[in-house]
């Protein structure tokens, strides 16, 4: 199944790049914001690194992302098409896990997501997300079909400090038959919180805590830079 790794990231302070890009003023708290970025880091599962390229159009924008996590046993590729005027985005999310369940087996998960951000007032916004996907892996004999729903609630304390809370639920429509015998279905409820601090128009730090019903706890801090 899709394993979400919460990162503890750290990128070298590229002072020159920060100065050259000081004119940027990105709303990093908005889930449908698109921008080019790079980060490096470490989390509970090992080292992480991410890079993204974005392109603006007359009626929207696009972003391509790569995120390597779990000491680069996991490879996440994300393509996003966003419309900044409506606050909506479509997302294609592919996760390749080369150490599925710590067995050195492969797992492939694909989701198509729709996201919509709505401002309730100048400080508070809601961003529901729904998705449909599938998973196949080397431990199972068939494909599992999945649905996902999440709601990100974001509150901006100031223009440079924000908090978001995201409950998320993932459900499998069918069982996966295991090669060693038996069947498995997938149900997962999680809650993630992020506290962000903008350091410069193109840099921010974000602390993360995530808990799911399997009693997994993840905490992290990320340093990210756009360019």
CB-CB contact of 9 with 221 (8 Å): yes
Query: What average pLDDT does range 99-127 have in this prediction?
Result: 95
Query: What is the pLDDT at residue 22?
Result: 41
Residue 220, class by beta-carbon neighbours within 10 Å (0-12 exposed, 13-18 middle, 19+ buried)?
Answer: buried
What residue spans define the domains of the chain?
A: 15-226
Q: Does domain 15-226 have CATH number 2.40.160.40?
A: yes
pTM of the full structure: 0.85
In this prediction, residue 2 has a pLDDT band, given cuts at 50, 70 and 90, of very low
pLDDT in tens, 87-100: 999 999 999 999 99
pLDDT at 168 over 70: yes
Q: Would you say how long the chain is, in residues?
A: 227
Task: Name the CA dihedral angle for 186, 144, 137, 192, rounded to a multiple of 10 degrees.
Answer: -40
């Amino acid at each position: 199944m899709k394993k979400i790794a919460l990162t503890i990231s750290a990128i070298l302070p590229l002072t020159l790049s920060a100065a050259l890009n000081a004119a940027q003023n990105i709303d990093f708290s908005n889930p449908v914001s698109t921008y080019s970025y790079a980060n490096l880091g470490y989390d509970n599962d090992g080292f992480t690194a991410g890079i993204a390229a974005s392109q603006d159009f007359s009626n929207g924008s696009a972003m391509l992302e790569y995120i390597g996590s779990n000491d680069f046993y996991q490879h996440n590729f994300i393509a996003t098409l966003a419309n900044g005027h409506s606050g909506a985005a479509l997302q294609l999310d592919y996760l390749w896990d080369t150490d599925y369940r710590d067995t050195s087996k492969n797992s492939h998960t694909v989701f198509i997501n729709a996201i919509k951000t709505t401002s309730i007032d100048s400080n508070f916004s809601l961003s529901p997300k729904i998705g449909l996907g599938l998973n196949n892996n080397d431990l199972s004999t068939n494909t599992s079909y999945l649905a996902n729903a999440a709601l990100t609630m974001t509150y901006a304390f100031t223009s440079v400090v924000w908090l978001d809370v995201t409950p998320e639920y993932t459900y499998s429509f069918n069982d996966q038959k295991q090669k060693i015998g038996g069947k498995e279905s997938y149900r997962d409820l999680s809650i993630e919180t992020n506290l962000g601090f903008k350091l410069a128009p193109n840099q921010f730090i974000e602390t993360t805590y995530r808990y799911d019903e399997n009693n997994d706890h993840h905490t992290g801090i990320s340093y990210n830079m756009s360019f």
